[in-house]
Structure 1
């Protein structure tokens, strides 16, 4: 396990210390209010712990993509109220993250106080990792804590720049994420099975190339499985398929063979002439997809094979749904495999780590999110970790 500095490494007495905490508050909004508090809930433990020890907790976060300009609809002010409710503690708000307003707000804080600073992305220097902005942010802190793994793949002023200017530590949410990811691919218990789904191979080439060198079996589902089937000479009819990536798919399968990684492709599929709720569908062997039909989900035989691999596995890493889960009945394979993985996890025989936007939605749909070992809400950062890439916001936390 890489050795990261965590809150356990903080000085024993941090009462009165100004602690800059980078959090992920990029939450869904509806009618001016937070509609999903998952990300807020995940950073509460770090904030509460620091405040409880008497630190002055100064929160840094972004919201949306204002592209370096002040956009009122992307202000964090409405988020402060939801955060206050989750913490059951007053949260003050500063209309800027640097300058006189932020300096004045921080200067008035007492031990244990919490203040949320305005959207860091209102400044063009944030996404450019501008050293001057990093210095201006650091001027309001004595200690830096990063609790936003979801932003750790970006070398921004508030995620990477500040960490070079102040003693830097991982918060509890970041720590939990790093420990779960280490169990998933860093130093996993073998056998390791990866499930990768989604629409296109083109968005996950780096991911697939990395996984075939690290896992014992790679299950490929979703629309991307069609590209692999077509590369093997199978006619997938009207199915979503990137025919121009046949050479890429074959190269990935060749690398898997060389690395001793089993590639698990569908053997049967649920097909329909159109993608809509209630569409007439049938289950066919993948080698017998009727003309004019499209593959929209895996069939029961394929699910049985996948569940067999899950049963054998000690570790499962999952990114992407197995079918077009948004519309029944094309959710059946994803739901069945997710529930099987959850049951194995709850039985204590499987470490299951999942992540990515569609993956989280699919596991929520299956009702098993709480039953996996860890489900990451980090999106792009989770995907880049699976691709084996260095995450700048994580690297600066190494001892």
Structure 2
């Protein structure tokens, strides 16, 4: 897969205007950036193009302004943060097309960096409108996409531009695609997938795709309750989608046909109240009290998950094993994450994880830095795990 598209190794950027699509959709509060992870991810690509004498023109979206300028969704406050982290001035244009943008781009010298205003301030961005794409393309000589997290959208700045200009994957996009290839494209077996989270309904496509690709599928979180209930187990007052029992049984049958083992909790941590420090107890899953809810997997379940990790060569992880935001219901997720991190560090496991909750849980466990790759892409990561083609990636293929 990684040979199918061009990277910065194939691009001659010196003296060229490089339209670089990045993800700057960062958390903000009172006009200040509160988490710079996504900015950190794109710095290597910006630096490399600038150091090679390219003129860097950054394209990004922020929030959902629905095709009109919205002051609160301006990228302007991000320019100084970017400048500080990059260690060089970053200019700003208050429009991404038109005479202002054209004038600013024309004044750039080799190695300069400018950030253009939110592409979604124009309806043509999300519509992938040909006229808008042409106007954007007129500002550049080359196009580099470094925003895997927006690659599941066929927008002007993620898909349209690649049809107008010579196109390349940036370093973050390249790293992401290489990691994903190791995770599910051409993985070393056995492959274990851990899928958690609240609802089966949001991950049906994901589960159906994974059972045909992995050797073991660990199901955790509220989703596991739906699978347990589908087997006739009483889960008390636990979060459970009883109307999806048939779907759960079909997924289990498909797994059996494909030779994939489904790993469900055998014991659970239950409580009467969902709040920090609520009195809790560990019980076998078929002994959940009627007035209690399952909030985490128990130690025997963790031991079973870790035993699979010991056998595995590859792990793909999306979603926590319990209600990890509240102690003590983070124990199973923390223990499995620590074990996966240890195996990865020892060179025994390739571990790829992604999705908002997953990233938060791995950070909480102090395990993220030891994983092979942690994707911050959310929706795009999920669609890739579901086996769907991503427009922003497809269009980069040679």
Q: TM-score, normalised by structure 1?
A: 0.99
Q: Which residue of 1 aligns with 2:63?
A: 64
2: CA distance, partners of 1:179 / 1:154: 20
Q: Does the residue aligned with 2:149 lie in a helix, a strand or coil?
A: helix
Q: Distance in 2 between matches of 1:67 and 1:229?
A: 42
Cα deviation for residue 278 of structure 1 reads 1.2
Count of residue pairs brought into register by the alignment: 397
1:385 aligns to what?
Answer: 384
Q: Quote the Cα distance in structure 2 between the aligned partners of 1:138 and 1:256.
A: 46
In structure 2, the residue matched to 1:195 is: 194
Show the counterpart of 1:81.
Answer: 80
1: CA distance, partners of 2:80 / 2:193 = 39
Partner of 1:238: 237
Structure 2 gaps, min length 5: none
Query: How big is each residue's C-alpha offset from its partner over 1:363-390, in whole Å with a ceiling of 9 and x where there is no partner?
Result: 0110111010000000000000000000
Whole-angstrom CA distance in 2 between matches of 1:260 and 1:64: 42
Shift of 1:31: 2.2
Aligned twin of 2:313: 314
What is aligned with 2:11?
10
Aligned to 1:259: 258
SS at match of 1:296: strand
Which deviations, in whole Å up to 9, do the C-alpha atoms of 1:223-250 show, x marking residues without a partner?
Answer: 0000000000000010000000000000
User: How many Å separate the matches in 2 of 1:4 and 1:254?
Assistant: 37
Q: Hey, what's the Cα distance between the residues in 2 that align with 1:339 and 1:278?
A: 22
Q: Partner residue of 1:35? A: 34
Structure 2 SS opposite 1:125: helix
Aligned-pair Cα RMSD in Å: 0.6
Rounded Cα–Cα distance in structure 1 between residues aligned with 2:249 and 2:266 = 18
Q: Name the structure 2 match of 1:132.
A: 131
Give me the TM-score of the superposition, normalised by structure 2. Answer: 0.99
Residue 101 of structure 1 is matched in structure 2 by 100
- Following TM superposition, by how much is the alpha carbon of 1:33 offset from its aligned partner in structure 2, in angstroms? 1.2
- Which residue pairs with 1:303 in the alignment? 302
- Render the CA deviation track for 1:336-366: whole Å, top value 9, x for unaligned: 0000000000010000000000000000110
C-alpha distance in structure 1 between counterparts of 2:361 and 2:310, whole Å: 20
Q: CA deviation at 1:15?
A: 2.0
For structure 1, which runs of at least 5 residues remain unmatched after alignment?
A: none
2:187 counterpart SS class:
coil
Matched, 1:150 2:149: yes
- Per the alignment, in what secondary structure is the counterpart of residue 126 of structure 1? helix
Q: Distance in 1 between matches of 2:58 and 2:241?
A: 44
Shift of 1:394: 0.3
The aligned counterpart of 2:20 is 21
Say which SS state the counterpart of residue 203 (structure 1) adopts.
helix
Alignment partners' CA distance in 2, 1:356 and 1:278: 27
Alignment partner, residue 271 of structure 1: 270
Matched, 1:342 2:320: no
Encode CA deviations 1:290-313: one digit per residue, 9 max, x unaligned. Answer: 011000000000000000001110
Alpha-carbon distance between aligned partners in 2 of 1:189 and 1:82, rounded to the nearest angstrom: 40
Question: Aligned residue for 2:362?
Answer: 363
